[in-house]
Structure 1
Amino acid sequence: MLKPLALLAITAATLGTAQASSGDAWAEFATEVETACLAATDGVFTEPTATVDPFGSESYGLAIISGDFPSGGTGSIVCVFDKQAKTVEIGGELDITVSQNAAE
């Protein structure tokens, strides 16, 4: 009887640790995507903000960078981060903005 309980306790402890580090890894990934996408759009916006998809797709990290254009007006750019190559591609300027509150 003791062996099954000990095995259950060890399994539960291991799963808790794996889940925590998985959450940490996703947060680290989101930060990496945000940093790369903000760098890729440097100079496009004044005070840009990034809204990062917390998980992305299987191969890519995804973000929308929004802000005010130096020439006036506001807009957004879609940013795609290649998870393996660690490279970024950005789309064209879109006449939409994304609110940080909308992502919550």
Structure 2
Amino acid sequence: MKRMVLAACLASLAALPAAASSGDAWQEFAADVQAKCLAASKDLLEDAKAVVDPTGSEHFGLAIMTGKAKGTDTAVSHICVYDKKSKAVELGSELSADTVKVEMPGSTKP
């Protein structure tokens, strides 16, 4: 009996590296979070851009959406939460530039 338990433990340990996410899988995940968050923000933001947490939390993908509030010249941000299980997204309320400052990668300061 002890040998069967030991064999089962060793077999499960051998499978762990295969279960770990690859770099490509994380890139696909981040791209899906970005696409879904951008789609969710289209009615709220003009020229929306996303900064995506590359791996998110245990249960959620996370992104900060930034752009101009629809119909204004006011820069605002929204936090986007992506449920890893259902792949549904939700946006938080509008955050003014006074509340949160987001610099997009590759952008230059004025």
TM-score by length of 1: 0.74
Percent identity reads 46
Q: Which runs of 5+ in 2 are unaligned?
A: 1-16
Count matched residues.
84
Q: In the aligned structure 2, how far is the partner of 1:101 from the partner of 1:36?
A: 19
Q: Which amino acid aligns with 1:59?
A: H
Q: In the aligned structure 2, how far is the partner of 1:82 from the partner of 1:36?
A: 11
Q: Which amino acid aligns with 1:64?
A: I
What does 1:45-84 align with in structure 2 at a 5 Å threshold? 45-69=45-69, 70-84=71-85
User: Deviation digits for residues 63-90 of structure 1, max 9, x if unmatched?
Assistant: 0000112222101000000000111111
User: Displaced runs of 4+ in structure 1, greater than 3 A?
Assistant: none
TM-score by length of 2: 0.70
Q: Which amino acid aligns with 2:104?
A: Q
Q: In the aligned structure 2, how far is the partner of 1:101 from the partner of 1:33?
A: 17
Deviation at 1:45, TM superposition (A): 1.3
What does 1:3-18 align with in structure 2 at a 5 Å threshold? none
Deviation at 1:44, TM superposition (A): 1.1
Q: Which runs of 5+ in 1 are unaligned?
A: 1-14
CA RMSD of aligned residues (A): 1.8
Matched, 1:101 2:105: yes
More helix by share: 1
